[in-house]
Amino acid sequence: MDDLFELFGNWRGPAIGLMDLDAFFASVEQLDHPEWRGKPVIVGGSPEERGVVSTASYEARPYGVHSAMPSAQAKRLCPHAIWTHGHFDRYREMSAQVMAILVDETPYVDQVSIDEAFFDITPGRYARENPIDIVRRIARRVSELGITCSIGLGTSKTVAKIASDRDKPRGLTIVPPGTEQSFLEPLPVRAMSGIGASAEATLKRMGIHTLGQLAATPVARLSAVFGVNAQMMRDRAAGVETSAVTSIDAPDDTKSVSNERTFARDLTERADIDAALALLGESVGRRLRKRGLAGRTVTVKVKYSYGSGRTIQRKLAHATDDENLFVPVARELMDEIWSEGMHIRLLGIGVSDFAAHPDVQTDLFCEVDERGAVASSKRELSVAVDKVRERFGNSAVSFGRATRFGDDLVRPDKYLNQNKPTD
């Protein structure tokens, strides 16, 4: 690693990292239960209740146990494992501590899940320090919390993400600038996020097996597989993507809140179904209110015992966060997809299509000199920032939250992030 430092002490181009916490849920359990350390621990649903494995500790993995595996199967493979349903508030708390470390190193942190985040440590964008020094320090600071992480570092999100997977746990994989292509070329297409089983099968039929082949395929051919994202997917495979890491301080851009449950025994009685809808709805309502969200669309999801499923949704006249209003709608929707004699394995209820109070809206705001742009989502904001930069050059860009009262935009007193000019 010291050789790397010598060689790449002068990092060229973007420096994007992806930090992934190792066996996160299981590691937190082992931290909180010292007697579980060194033993196979499985966080997930119980084998008797159609559960699946959420996370298996590294001690359980040699038995073949892994995430998303049916718990019954995991139980067969590793009968002596310690099981727990998990403590999600605790995981969220630990996650927040980890994210705070990242934000302390750079404001450009894009949390993608409870245990993963991209961060941009391009020299000069925020700090000027060598990126390799920074990722080493991040790994050390995370380990001081009692859990560990793996980090990938490269010049794009795609490269960083794949690199982070190379060496786990406690890995640090660096793909130096200029070596992206040789790193990506031989990898199977499935290695890139966004390509799942379905796209993989289609690509295989087209004779495309590796990222190198994907990068060499005309966009027009790829459109059949990726639709509007064909160009972007090709760029990612070629290691030339330009997708930026935005700030962790972007407002909550949650699009939906839902709750679903698979029942240990199928529901067959309408009264049980209505009771389940009420319970699921109550939790959705509580979470909506906690986050200050109100939605206009109610969705009901079912899976029948014979495997197939349906979703049905309805738009309301007004946004609501009150289960007393949206659960009755869910019951009406149930009437359309359930009739006497049907066995229901899974039931879900969701609220989406959020609307703010019409007169008070919190928006993202970005500004270059005196000229600003407003956006209602992170995605929109990054487009807006790019447009502003295109017009005015890469001068001082700041962004944060602004609140709109009717037509008046009230800008924040203090911007959350400052990107000072680097030239």
- Catalytic positions, written as ranges: 116
Of 7-15, 106-114, 166-174, 391-399, the segment contacting DNA by CB under 7 A is 106-114
- Position 234 contacts DNA (CB under 7 A): no
Identity of the residue, 172 or 195, whose beta carbon is nearer to DNA in the bound complex = 195
CB of 351 to DNA, least distance (A): 9
User: Measured from the CB of residue 160, what is the shortest distance to DNA in angstroms?
Assistant: 12
Cα–Cα distance for residue pair 396/262, rounded to 1 Å: 51
Near DNA by CB under 7 A: residue from 46, 179, 243, 297: 297
Instruction: For the chain, state the CA radius of gyration.
Output: 24
Decide if 355 contacts 319 (C-beta within 8 A): yes
**Nearest distance in Å: CB 62, DNA:** 20
> How many amino acids of this chain bind DNA (CB under 7 A)?
56
Rounded distance, CA 401 to CA 375, Å? 10
The verdict on 227 binding DNA (CB under 7 A) reads yes
Nearest approach, Cβ of residue 294 and DNA (Å) = 14
Q: How far is CA 297 from CA 110, 312, 317, 379, 384, in A?
A: 28, 10, 9, 22, 28
Q: Give Cα separations from 302 to 85, 194, 225, 336, 338 (angstroms).
A: 23, 26, 28, 12, 9
Question: Which lies closer to DNA via its Cβ, residue 49 or residue 133?
Answer: 49
198 forms part of the interface with DNA (CB under 7 A): yes
3-11, 126-134, 187-195, 322-330 -> range binding DNA (CB under 7 A): 187-195
Distances (CA, A) of 45 to 32, 53, 75, 323, 343: 19, 6, 11, 27, 21
Q: Which stretch binds DNA (CB under 7 A): 92-100, 102-110, 312-320, 395-403?
A: 312-320
Secondary structure of residue 385 in the 3-state scheme: helix
Binders of DNA among residues 248 to 277 (CB under 7 A) are: 253-262
Of residues 65 and 368, the one with the C-beta less far from DNA: 65
Write down the least CB distance from residue 168 to DNA, Å.
Answer: 13
Stretch that binds DNA, among 135-143, 342-350, 381-389, 407-415 (CB under 7 A): 342-350
Report how far apart the first and last C-alpha atoms of the chain are (Å, whole number).
30
Q: Is 72 in the site for DNA (CB under 7 A)?
A: yes
Nearer to DNA, 47 or 239 (CB): 47
Helix, coil or strand: residue 31? helix
Residues 12 and 123: their CA atoms lie apart, in Å, by: 8
Continuous H helices in 258-414: 270-290, 323-337, 378-392
102 versus 132: smaller Cβ distance to DNA: 102
Residue 261 vs 331, nearer CB to DNA: 261
Torsion sign (Cα): 258, 259, 262, 263: negative
352 binds DNA (CB under 7 A): yes
**How many CB atoms sit inside 10 A of residue 14's CB?**
22
* DSSP H or E segment with residue 414: none
Indicate whether 116 belongs to the interface with DNA (CB under 7 A). Answer: yes
Residues near DNA (CB under 7 A): 45, 47, 50-52, 54, 67-68, 70, 72-73, 75-76, 112-116, 161, 192-200, 227-229, 253-262, 287, 297, 307, 310-315, 345-346, 348, 350, 352, 379
